[in-house]
Copies of this chain bind each other. A is one copy, B any other.
Amino acid sequence: MNPVPARPPRGSVAEYAVLGLLASAEDGAGHGYDLARRFAAGTPLGSVLRLEAGMVYHHVKKLERLGWVRSVSEGGQRPARRTVAITPAGRAELARWLGEPVQHTREIRLEFLVKLYLALLLDRPVVLRLIAEQDAVLQQRTGLLAGAESAELEAGESGFPGLVRTLRQAQTEAAVSWLGRVRQRLGE
């Protein structure tokens, strides 16, 4: 009845990872089992995001529902495969997601690393923009935390909230200096 706000659909990190792997293939296509191997233990992606084969099929289904991927061949081949390919809408959505830095420090460990991995595969110039924007977001967080510190000092706060804040500062600063090293390494 109400005109629903209808916010655009978003995928999970795992779904964007699958989408990105498809995009990185020359023909933008692949099949489930093959994708699943990229997420196995001992692989670069697998060291960041481990996915069982069952979950990969699950994510491919969802990507189809979203219209970001479509089936391009039912198993005439042996062994019987179902190949899917990324659609133009899928490429657009992937590009949007890849260009956005993550908002929270805790997301660096999973989501940002996945973005970085895919950006390196797909589009080197995008990598540098992503890093720069992520750095800006983290710097802003550093400022917010410093502000909270001053507020605590004025309020005479000296307990648990201070411990929480110092942990966040430590983790955010660690992420910032790591990002600097990454930038250097890629600039060389």
Which residues of A line the B interface, CB within 8 A? 44, 47-48, 106, 108-109, 113, 116-117, 120, 159-161, 163-164, 166-168, 170-171, 173-175, 177-178, 181-182, 185
Contacts and interface: CB of A to CB of B under 8 A. Distances in A.
A181 B165 CA distance: 12
Nearest to A44: B160
Nearest to A112: B167
Contacts of A109: 106, 167-168, 171
**Most chain B CB within a 10 A radius of its CB, from A44, A163, A173, A177:** A163
Given A166-B178, A170-B174, 16 more contacts: A44-B164, A47-B161, A48-B164, A106-B106, A108-B167, A109-B167, A109-B171, A113-B164, A113-B167, A116-B160, A116-B163, A163-B185, A166-B181, A170-B175, A170-B177, A173-B174
Nearest to A108: B167
Contacts of A163: 113, 116, 182, 185
Contact of A120 (B160, B171, B178, B182): B160
- The list of the 3 closest CB pairs from A to B, nearest first, reads A174-B174, A170-B174, A170-B178
A120 to B, nearest CB: 7
18 contacts: A44-B160, A47-B164, A106-B109, A108-B167, A109-B171, A113-B163, A113-B164, A116-B163, A120-B160, A163-B182, A166-B181, A170-B175, A170-B177, A171-B171, A171-B174, A171-B175, A173-B174, A174-B174
